[in-house]
């Protein structure tokens, strides 16, 4: 087991799956000679050649559409979008084709397609390049949504996604690519979809998070512990399927839940999770479910304003103290 970065873990997963299954190939803007916008595919072209690491024109609609067709034809495409913000240009192919073909063809056609894309704010990239859009895809039946926080989960979930028969939206936060952690070098290391991880056990409060907010939740938990509050921290890992059982078990134990996520507060993934908690554990709650999320505004370019819009560990601490 080696300590490597989130970026390197993704690269390792791609190498292992390219070696394992000749049907797997990668396509996207600058994934070959440039190595990807965030260098996730760096070095793969030299090993696997242009047939399996394909640079594409700048057209997200065409890239995803070609991926859907290749998947229907029996291949296992891994499509990289330079950023999920550009995925909006391919929503017809994602929502009306990738997500629905298996259903509309009576199960006779499959779309084993993985769409990888970075997302998130914090880098002064402006309103059109700093969004977290997981709720859009969570809302669409037929899509799986994986959103890893740790290097180990980045590897394990990506390998699971590539081996799946369903279309998977694989969302990576831009701030996590340099994060390092222990990653198994086992070529069959898989992290199952729909299985959350309890990263910290506690008795007073449950903090549910995913992606970058997992680190905010853990930092908040340390600060709260100093004040005598014992929080439990859950990393969801995937939003579809959602491990509601782990969340409800914790909610019933602690009686208080805060959901931390970087999407907009209104209509975000946290709102859906909160609703399901109310439906399944209302009688066990001692307080309304709290949500810590981005403010409902386009992302400012100014660094101080951007920081004010994004959720932080301090916001989680404040919400927890008010709830307690």
Token pair 């403010």 is found at: 295
Tell me the C-alpha distance between 69 and 46, whole Å: 26
CA 25 to chain centre: 21
Active site residue 16: no
Tell me the C-alpha distance between 248 and 233, whole Å: 13
| Residues facing residue 54 across a β-bridge | 27
In sequence order, what E strands does the chain have?
2-5, 24-28, 53-55, 76-80, 114-119, 144-146, 168-173, 180-183, 197-200, 205-209, 231-235, 238-240, 257-264, 290-294
Q: What percent of the residues of the chain are helix, what percent strand, and what percent coil, each to the nearest 5?
A: 40, 20, 40
Considering the candidates 16, 129, 262, 306, report the single residue annotated as catalytic: 129
Active site residue 60: yes
Neighbours of 70 (CB within 10 A): 20
CA dihedral 191, 193, 196, 197 (to 10 degrees): 0
| Residues facing residue 2 across a β-bridge | 183
Classify strands 231-235 and 197-200 as parallel, antiparallel or unpaired.
antiparallel
Tell me the C-alpha distance between 181 and 9, whole Å: 9
Considering the candidates 8, 17, 29, 60, report the single residue annotated as catalytic: 60
**Cα 224–245–234 angle (5° rounding)?**
25
Give catalytic residue positions: 60, 129
């Amino acid at each position: 087991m080696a300590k490597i970065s989130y970026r390197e873990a993704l690269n390792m997963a791609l190498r292992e799956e390219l070696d394992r299954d000749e049907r797997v190939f990668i396509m996207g803007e600058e994934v070959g000679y440039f190595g990807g916008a965030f260098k996730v595919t760096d070095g793969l072209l030299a090993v696997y050649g242009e047939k399996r690491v394909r640079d594409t024109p700048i057209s997200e609609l065409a890239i995803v559409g070609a991926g859907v067709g290749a998947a229907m034809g029996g291949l296992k495409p891994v499509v990289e979008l330079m950023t999920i913000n550009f995925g909006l240009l391919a929503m017809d192919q994602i929502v009306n084709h990738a997500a629905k073909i298996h259903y509309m063809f009576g199960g006779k056609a499959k779309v084993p397609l993985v769409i990888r894309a970075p997302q998130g704010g914090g880098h002064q990239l402006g309103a059109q390049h700093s969004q977290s859009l997981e709720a859009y895809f969570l809302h669409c039946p037929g899509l799986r949504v994986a959103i890893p926080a740790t290097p180990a989960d980045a590897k394990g979930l990506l390998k699971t996604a590539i081996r799946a028969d369903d279309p998977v939206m694989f969302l990576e936060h831009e701030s996590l690519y340099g994060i390092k952690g222990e990653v198994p070098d086992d070529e069959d290391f898989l992290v199952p979809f729909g299985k959350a991880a309890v990263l910290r056990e506690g008795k007073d409060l449950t903090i549910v998070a995913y992606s970058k907010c997992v680190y905010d939740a853990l930092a908040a938990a340390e600060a709260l512990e100093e004040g005598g509050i014992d929080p439990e921290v859950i990393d969801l890992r995937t939003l579809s399927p959602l491990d509601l059982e782990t969340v409800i078990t914790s909610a019933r134990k602690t009686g208080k839940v805060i959901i931390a996520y970087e999407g907009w507060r209104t209509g975000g993934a946290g709102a859906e999770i909160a609703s399901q908690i109310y439906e399944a554990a209302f009688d066990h709650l001692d307080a309304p479910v709290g949500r810590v999320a981005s403010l409902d505004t386009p992302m400012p370019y100014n660094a101080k304003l951007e920081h004010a819009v994004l959720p932080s560990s301090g916001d989680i601490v404040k919400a927890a103290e008010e709830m307690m």
